[in-house]
Each structure stands twice: as C-alpha cells, then as structure tokens.
Structure 1
Amino acid sequence: MKIAVICANGKAGRLIVKEAVDRGLDTTAIVRGTNQTAAAKVINKDLFDLSAKDLEDFDVIIDAFGTWTPDTLFQHCSSLKLLCDLVSGKNIRLLVVGGAGSLYVNSEHTVQVMDGSDFPDAFKPLASNMGKALEELRSRNDVKWTYISPAADFRADGARTGSYRLGGEELLVNSNGESVISYSDYAIAMIDEAVNGTHIQQRISVVEN
C-alpha cells in the first residue's frame, strides 16, 4: 500500500505520517517547503498545484489541509473539489481530515454541533465552510472518499492512548461524557481506515475511550 499525506507539515499531518511510517507503510509527504515529517519520500508542491500524475501511483491520499483566516476559508471547498477531480473515477481512496462542527447532536440529524448556542461565534465561519465542503463531497459518487470527523475537543498536544471509539454522523462522548480526542489517537483511526477501507463514501467520527 502506498499512502500520500497532503499538507503533511501541519500538526495533524505530521502525526498521521508518523503513524503510517511506524507501521511500515510506504508513505510520501506532500509539503510546501522543508519536509518536517518522518516520511523519507517527499513531493514538494502546493496542494493547488498538484496534478493527476502526481497522485496516480498512490492507493490512498490523505487530505490534511486546513486554513483558518477569513479570506481563505473558501479553500476548504475548492481544495477538496480539486482533489476529487484529480482522483475521479480511479481506484484511489481519498481520506479527509474533517471537522466536528457538522456532526449531529440529535437522532433526527436536524441539529448540528455548530448550531448550538454554546458554539463559539469565532469558530462558526470555519465550521460552516468545512460543513459545506462535506456536503459537496457527499455528491461525489465518482470518488472513493471517507470523511473522518474528530471529537468536539480535538487536542493537538493530547496524549496518545492507543485506542479510540468509532462512530458515524452523530457527536460521540467517552465514558466520562466528554467529546475529546488527541491528534495522536485520531492519527491511529485515520491510518486504520487507510489500511482497512471499510467506510467508503461515508462520514465517520472518532472519540477517545
């Protein structure tokens, strides 16, 4: 299996690469600038400059793109559309590091986390744009995609426990009633899905045990 991680120099990207490399997987980091990951193989290229030829030899592409400034939030949609177009109709799986704001908090799937009165206003534009990108992804029947949402509290410096619980469209909580997961445990879930490929054209979610 050959895996490529896009935007691999980011906090999530680096841990995903490390998890893949530690498992002995053939892993390539796609980065801008100097490679800061554990991958020995590198494609030095901006996401928006990637071509179908760049990606054609991989079995799995992991999209760890993220942006937070108001003038770039639209790129959550445009970057995902580009990647979908590049792997359209091919036997290449596209795994996406998603957000928690679009997870549902009721069984009817009518209310999302970002709709809550306690959801911070500062994060609503980001959650909205990521949610829109997911909705557009759902329409891509020509792509073998999987969107993986973290728990509501996604901890960059959280401990690696080595375990997690898998869910679907609804916000999960752990045994303490908390919706939390570390980037390291999220990386485990991401590489498990990369290896197993059991949730094609689905959104899944993860929380610590």
Structure 2
Amino acid sequence: MNIAIIGATGMAGREIYREAKERGHEAVAIVRNEEQAKEVLGSDAKVMIKDAFSLEKKDLEGFDVVVNAFATAPNLAYLHVDLAAKLVALFRETSSPRLFFILGAGSLFDETGERFVETIRKTPGSEAWISIPENQLKELLFLQNVENVNWVGVSPSASFTPGEKSTPVLGKDHLLTAADGKSHTTSKTMAVAVLNEIEQPTVIRGRFTVSD
C-alpha cells in the first residue's frame, strides 16, 4: 500500500513509518524539515516537504492511507481540530484515501464513565498542556459527525511513551490496562496496531484504543 504519514518525525509518526517500511509498504513522510526527517528516518527515507496546512487534494489522492500523526505545542492545540477538518474537507464523498487519525487518551472513558481528560485536568501542572487532550477530544467529536469520509481513529492508553513493541490489546472507548495493572502504550506497539488496522480494516468511521 501507499501510505502517507503527516508528522512522521514525531514519536508516533516515526514508528508508524518504520513499521510500514518493515512490512513492505510504500511510506512517504510528510514533513516541513527534510534534514530532520532524514536524520530521524534514515537517509533513504521518502519525504514530501510540505506544511500540513498547505496540502492539496492532488498531493494526497494517490495514497491508499493518510495517517495524521500531527503534534503541536499546547498554545496551538486547536490545530488538531483544524487539520482534521481540512483533511475531511479534501476528501468528502470519497472512500480513498482512508484517513487515519492518531488521537489522545483524554477522550477515552475511565471506569467511572468519565472522560479521562477530567482526570488529567487534576494532575499538578496540567494547566500548561491540558489544551492538547482537550482539543484531541474536540477532534474526535468532530470526526464522529463525519459520515461521508473513510476515516478511523486510534487512542493510546493513559501513558504513551517511546518503547519496544508488544502484541497490541485492543478496545473501543474505555481506558485499558496492561497485564501489570497499569495503563500504558508504547509508540512501537501503537505502530503495530495501526498497521494491523491498515492491512485488515475492522473499524469504519470509528475510534479504537490500544494497550501494551
């Protein structure tokens, strides 16, 4: 498959790019900084040098899947919603490419049925970055009202960090816990789950979650 990855030098994006290449797919990193991309992904990495908000339909319509692993600073967190809206607008009334959104854990429900973003909000110092999970929730709520675009989203568990791959455990809308009783997902486990879903789609216009 031909897979484009927006934000391919970030924690999630780089592992999705590597997993795609490892499985024999044609992967293209959509980035603003070619030098950084080559440093992170390798000198032979295929890259498209373009700001995500400058992308046009012609740039993306040749891909089977476009993965949105975009990340930004807390003061610009609203751009998560804006980019989702832009990609959806480009591909209304189409089935290809499939749009794959990397979402946050804040939109998941905890064991009490409350959004996890409310627990995050109580974390000391969270006021400096709470806008990110808040806007990723808004992004999901926006997507859930999109019925004429082929999209899917995925959320990690409470802790999302770099790390080695394990066999993904999947859920839908509630926080999962790993075998050690803690809620965590590594970036490489996330990549495995994303590529599994790309290769064998099971979720259509919905969100799933993944745990180690």
Q: Is the TM value for this pair above 0.5? A: yes
Alpha-carbon distance, 1:199 to partner: 0.4
Deviation at 1:40, TM superposition (A): 3.7
The match for 1:94 is: 99
Assess if the C-alpha contact under 8 Å between 1:168 and 1:205 holds in 2: yes
Match of 1:133 among 134, 139, 142: 139
Percent identical pairs in the alignment equals 34
Q: Per-residue CA shift, 1:161-207, capped at 9, x if unaligned?
A: 3x110000000001221101110111111111111121011110000
Correspondence 1:29-68 to 2 at 5 A: 29-34=29-34, 35-36=37-38, 37-38=41-42, 40-68=45-73
Cα distance in structure 1, aligned partners of 2:147 and 2:168: 29
1:194 aligns with 2:198: yes
Aligned-residue offset at 1:160: 2.3
Structure 1 CA distance for aligned equivalents of residues 102 and 199 of structure 2: 16
1:150 to 149, 152, 156: 156
User: Aligned partners of 1:95 and 1:48: how far apart in 2?
Assistant: 17
- In structure 2, distance between residues paired with 1:119 and 1:129: 17
Deviation of 1:118 after TM superposition, in Å, equals: 4.3
User: Aligned partners of 2:131, 2:106: CA distance in 1, in Å?
Assistant: 10
Asked whether the equivalents of residues 138 and 201 of structure 1 are also in contact (C-alpha less than 8 Å), the reply is yes
Compute the RMSD of aligned alpha carbons: 1.6
1:160 corresponds to 2:168: no
How far apart in 2 are the matches of 1:191 and 1:119?
A: 32
Q: Do the aligned partners of 2:103 and 2:154 also contact (CA within 8 Å) in 1?
A: yes
TM-score, length-scaled by structure 2 = 0.90
Matched, 1:11 2:33: no
Distance in 2 between the 1:189 and 1:26 partners? 18
Residues 60-91 of structure 1: CA deviation (Å, up to 9, x unaligned): 11000011231x11101101100111122222
